[in-house]
Structure 1
């Protein structure tokens, strides 16, 4: 049945798909007052394993997908890009209270719902906006060696056609001029494509980005993961996430990694230079969180 449904959806012309999506969203907005707000937010880092983490969680029997489930939405980007759409638009992405109550009655436990928008961590207004709407939400952050994160981010942007510079070295050399004035612009509530898409190095200074979240949310409500730990103890890390969210413990679903890109090795000289660039920033992160991250290689 599922394969037949997918075949039908695939056969639909794109204009019709857009009409269907718009109609569904309009209905969801009109029923927004009956809809819940998220129990958890996965806020980043981009290229830090957020997609794999989301796809693991949404397969948990007590985690509900965003609405509508058939669209497999992960990132509404409300607290960064689409804040001007309003709270009813945001609510429209989540299940109704009645649906969750029916599931709770059947399963004996209230299901959770959440979302994963990895730009939240880097966006200077997202933490304050999120706290104003969902002050009790659990916050999940998945960090990655900033050198590897930047390189992966560049190749993802290059592959999507957003990046036009032919080498990673060209892109990071251009980053300062590309981002000039964008932070101030974003703080006015405007959207900056450069700030969103070409911030390869800037997104790796995690301590500065975590500070607003630690200011607005209790530390006990923030779980900070390290992508490298998933590679060495996937089951253990997935268990940590479930315990943090108060979910019944389930084994990690046998899901392949998502958003993997076949990329050539980084130039060793570039890697050495970036490790030096991030040394102080990584030390600041370790001091802020009181734990080592071991990103010196």
Structure 2
């Protein structure tokens, strides 16, 4: 059978697996199914231990991106293990401190905003910079963003602006790397998913169910669908895509005036 994606035999680093529901896990699993080798990076030793059964016999490294120098250390360890060159990086990490419950955006604390920015956005820059010497000349870097930066969901709080920063970082990285490499950097803009990380957002279930009604097909986005799009961006088949956000949302962002939603909003008693 023809290797259409041309990822077989190549090596990719996937950062951000938390459990079997993670976007990162489904991307990694799909890469492996296509014959690729996957190197894993997780945020803590405790997470590594919790994933022992899932990631058995696979190379797993610890990288807490909140700590300065962590990405440089990761790159050095991966290279020392003989796992380079890498043909792609998957950056699928984000963090926001919702421990105090819902707050309006205007109530955002400086420390929370800076912490979330370092982990969720600037870590893409640090990861790419650290691995640049260890990447294949035509490697692909993919980060997971959101399907729209124009919406302002109350319960998402300051993560909206931080995801906007992530998307901007990806574009500037793509331009910067083009000066002396053919490395590409793209964003996969995902619609709402049923993941453990999303469950930590206050009121997420209601938002998820609403988003499902807003899709053209009236069926929620499946995490595997996002993983499938990520494989395309990681593969040479997307060689003409760079500095771009590929939106995968089942039509959600184009369905503002859906007749069923309008009916429920204007005449809920019926």
What's the TM-score once normalised by structure 2's chain length? 0.39
Higher relative strand content: 2
What's the TM-score once normalised by structure 1's chain length? 0.36
Answer with 1 or 2: which has the greater Rg: 1
Higher relative helix content: 1
